[in-house]
Structure 1
Amino acid sequence: MHRRKYIVDKQLVTMHRRNQPKEGLLLLQLPLIIRRYVEVKNASDNEKTETQSPVQTYGDGKSKWCMVYAKALDITWSGDTRYWRWAKETSGDNFEAAELLNVCWLEVRGKLATTDLSPGTLYEVVFVVKMKTEADGWDAPVNFKFTSPDGALTRNTTFKLREILKDSKDQWKDIPFGEFKAPENPRNIEFSLYEYSRIWKSGLVIKGVAVRPKS
C-alpha cells in the first residue's frame, strides 16, 4: 500500500516538473542572457566607434568646415570587390578609404548641404586622394566638376593625376577644383570626379572631399 502511494507520488512529481512553466527556466538562465546581451552590445558599440560618421563638421570658433569621407560618396561599382576595396585608415582620423582595384569607367559623385558652413565665408572644394606605387592606367586626364550652391556656376577642370601625384606616392594629396561663398540660406553643392576612357585604371585611393575656408 505504501509502496504504491510512493510510486504514484513520484509520477505526480515527474509530471509536475515536465509541466513547469518555461518562465522558470528563463529565470534560471536570466544572468547568462543579460551577460550575453552586454557582451553583444559592447561589441556593437565598439564597432560603431571604430569608424566615424562619413560626414564630419569641424570648427575653430571663427568658421566651420566639413569633410565628406569616401563612404558618403556615390562611387560606381564600389560595392563590387572586383573593382574597389574598402580599407580602414587609423592614422589620425578613423575612416574607410576607397581603393581602386581595376576599372575603366571611373565615376565618383557627391553633394553637401551648406547647413553646417559659415555664411559669407569663401570656401574651397578639395578632393583628397593618393596614388599607390603600383598604380597604372593614368595617362588620360581625369575630369573634376563642381556646381555652386545656387546652381549658376559649374566649373569643369581636368588633371593628369599621374603627373600631379608622381612626387607624393602613397601620401595624401589635396586637389582643389572649386570654390564658393556659403549662402545665408542653406543649399547643396555638388561635385564629381570621372574618367570614361577604355583604359583600365588601378591604384587610386580616395579619402574624400574637404570643404574648407580658403586661406
Structure 2
Amino acid sequence: MDFTRILPEECLCLIISCTSPADACRSALVCPAMRSTVDSDAVWEKFLPSDYKSIILESSSPASLLSMGKKELYFRLFSHPILIQNATMSFQLEKGSGKKWYMLGARALSISWAETPHHWTWTPQPDSRFPEVAELNHVWWLEVRGRIETRMLSPNTKYAAYLVFKLNSTGAISFKDRTVDLSVSVDGIASRGAQKVSLASRDDPRHVRERGDGWMEVEMGEFLNECGDDGTAEFILKEIAGYLNQGLIIEGIELRPKDIDS
C-alpha cells in the first residue's frame, strides 16, 4: 500500500520534517512520488533555525536571501557562509543537520595591542571571507580572546572551537619548536584544561591541519552547549612566556558542531 496516496500532504510534511535534511533528501531519491512534498517550504522551514530570519537580516543582502524558497535557502546557507554583524562574523549551517555554524572574524576578537600599528596590521587577504584580517608584526605578550553568547548557538550540541590562521615566513621561524596555550570555557568554567600546541604544522601535525580554503586551523577545545539563553563561551589563545611573537595572521575563531545529537 502506497501511504503517500493515503495520508494528507500536511501529514507527510510533518513526518518528513521530524527527520533530518539528509534523510529528507534520501526519501526523495527512494520515493520519487514524494519529491514535491520533500521539496516544499513547509518541510524545509522546519530544518532552518527558528531565528534564521533575524540572522539573515544582519547580512548585506537580506532581501535576496529571504526571497528564496526554503530548500534553496538551506542549501545556500550550508554552501556559502554569509557575513553578519557588520561583516565581523560569518554564519552558515551544518549540511546534514542544519545546526548553526559561526566564525568570529578577527575584528570580533579581543586582541592585545591590536590597535597599535607597531604591533599589529589590519589588512585584506584575497582568500579570506572577511574584509580584513589581523597580521602580527611583533609582540612579547600574545593574547587573543573570542566570546559568544550560547543563545546564538544550537542547543544541546557539542561544539569545537578552531583558531583559523596562517604563519608567514617570519611566523614559521618565530613559532617553530615552541607552543601556545589554547583554552575554551563556558561561564568561566574550563571545558577541559588548557592545552599547549605548536602552531607550526611540521611541529604538531596531529593538531594543526590545512583547510580547503587556504588557511590552517587548530582545535582550541570543545564544549557542550547546554546553557540555553544564559551562557557565554570564551576561547583564548595565549603566549606570555617572554618570547618574541611574529608573523601570525588571524582570520578568526570558528565554532562548528562536532557531533549530531539524535
TM-score range relative to shorter protein: 0.5 to 0.7
Mapped pair 1:164 → 2:204: yes
How do 1:186-205 residues align onto structure 2 when only pairs under 5 Å count?
Answer: 186=229, 187-205=231-249
In structure 1, what is the equivalent of residue 154 of structure 2?
Answer: 118
Q: 2-side partners of 1:119 and 1:74: how far apart?
A: 25
Q: 2-side partners of 1:196 and 1:150: how far apart?
A: 20
Aligned AA (2:109): L
List alignment gaps of at least 5 residues for structure 2: 1-59, 61-82
Mapped pair 1:176 → 2:219: yes
Q: 1-side partners of 2:147 and 2:209: how far apart?
A: 29
In structure 1, what is the equivalent of residue 119 of structure 2?
Answer: 83
Given the superposition, is the C-alpha separation of residues 150 and 141 from structure 1 closer, same or farther in structure 2, using an over 3 Å criterion? closer
Larger Rg belongs to: 1
Q: 1-side partners of 2:88 and 2:217: how far apart?
A: 18
Does the 8 Å contact 1:148/1:154 carry over to 2?
A: no
List alignment gaps of at least 5 residues for structure 1: 1-44
In structure 1, what is the equivalent of residue 51 of structure 2?
Answer: none
If the length of structure 2 is used for normalisation, what is the TM-score? 0.57
Mapped pair 1:104 → 2:117: no
Aligned AA (1:160): S
Q: 2-side partners of 1:124 and 1:64: how far apart?
A: 12
In structure 1, what is the equivalent of residue 36 of structure 2?
Answer: none
Mapped pair 1:185 → 2:225: no
Q: 1:143 aligns with which of 155, 167, 181?
A: 181
| Cα deviation, residue 180, structure 1 | 1.5
Q: 2-side partners of 1:133 and 1:150: how far apart?
A: 36
If the length of structure 1 is used for normalisation, what is the TM-score? 0.68
Aligned residues: 166
Given the superposition, is the C-alpha separation of residues 94 and 177 from structure 1 closer, same or farther in structure 2, using an over 3 Å criterion? closer
The alignment partner of 2:253 has SS state of strand
The alignment partner of 2:103 has SS state of strand
Q: 2-side partners of 1:128 and 1:108: how far apart?
A: 12
The alignment partner of 2:242 has SS state of coil
Q: 2-side partners of 1:96 and 1:212: how far apart?
A: 22
Q: 2-side partners of 1:64 and 1:75: how far apart?
A: 25
Q: 2-side partners of 1:152 and 1:90: how far apart?
A: 35
**Equivalent pairs: percent with the same residue?**
29
The alignment partner of 1:89 has SS state of coil
CA RMSD of aligned residues (A): 2.7
